[in-house]
């Protein structure tokens, strides 16, 4: 299977299911930025249930800005807030401490461009999973894709209706199983077993 996806921030499990089962991966890098998508947000399982972690971006004066040109607004201390939220959510999970030092650099280094940050999050997670991460990037935008399976819709959580098999989550006794969160939820709860899980799910 040859697939095309958007690079998103610590992508959803559905993103990684597609990637784990793909023969080739291409990332869309020529599209316009769309607000309220997973390009600059992820969902985690907090003590209070589902929690949105959003990265602030600098607003452009142009009505249509390419996503690769979108800059992060670093005036807000989003990195500190996101890492604190991850600690509150996953400190007691089986594998948080095991992978903590791998993901920490994301929350310590200042990044200029949102897309660059997204690629770095995917590189870190694929390394943690032991997943080979080779990909191509688009060089122009096509609305219709004919030679690849188009998973670009997965960047928009409202269009992503994938349902996956439950796995053990930290707060499931309080809020039951929460489906298709950020890949970090699966990684911190399942560790390297996450790779087998991803290969066995269907989209």
Q: Which sequence spans correspond to the domains of the chain?
A: 2-200
Q: Which pLDDT does position 11 carry in this prediction? A: 98
Helices (H), the chain: 13-20, 78-90, 96-103, 114-129, 172-175, 183-190, 193-200
pLDDT-based confidence at 17, cuts 50/70/90?
Answer: very high
Residue 153 clears pLDDT 90, i.e. is over it: yes
Beta-ladder partners of 26: 4, 136
Identify the DSSP state of 113.
B
* Number of C-beta neighbours around residue 168 at 10 A: 10
The mean per-residue pLDDT over the stretch 19-47 comes to 96
Residue whose token pair is 């122009």: 140
Q: Which pLDDT does position 140 carry in this prediction? A: 95
Residue 158 clears pLDDT 90, i.e. is over it: no
Q: What is the largest CA-CA distance in the chain?
A: 47
pLDDT-based confidence at 51, cuts 50/70/90?
Answer: very high
pLDDT-based confidence at 64, cuts 50/70/90?
Answer: confident
CA torsion sign for 1, 4, 124, 91 is: negative
Residue whose token pair is 């907090």: 46
């Amino acid at each position: 299977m040859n697939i095309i996806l958007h690079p998103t921030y610590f992508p959803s499990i559905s993103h990684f299911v597609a990637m784990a089962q793909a023969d080739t991966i291409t990332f869309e890098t020529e599209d316009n930025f769309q607000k309220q998508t997973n390009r600059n947000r992820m969902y985690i399982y907090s003590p209070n249930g589902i929690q949105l972690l959003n990265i602030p971006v600098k607003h452009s004066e142009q009505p249509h800005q390419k996503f690769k040109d979108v800059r992060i607004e670093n005036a807000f201390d989003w990195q500190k807030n996101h890492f604190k939220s991850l600690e509150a959510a996953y400190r007691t999970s089986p594998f948080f401490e095991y992978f903590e030092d791998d993901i920490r650099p994301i929350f310590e280094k200042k990044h200029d461009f949102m897309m660059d940050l997204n690629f770095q999050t995917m590189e870190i997670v694929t390394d943690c999973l032991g997943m080979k991460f080779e990909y191509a990037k688009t060089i122009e935008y096509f609305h219709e894709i004919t030679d690849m399976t188009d998973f670009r819709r997965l960047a928009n959580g409202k269009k992503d209706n994938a349902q996956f098999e439950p796995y053990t989550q930290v707060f499931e006794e309080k809020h039951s199983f929460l489906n298709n969160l950020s890949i970090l939820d699966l990684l911190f709860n399942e560790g390297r077993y996450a790779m087998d899980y991803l290969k066995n799910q269907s989209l």
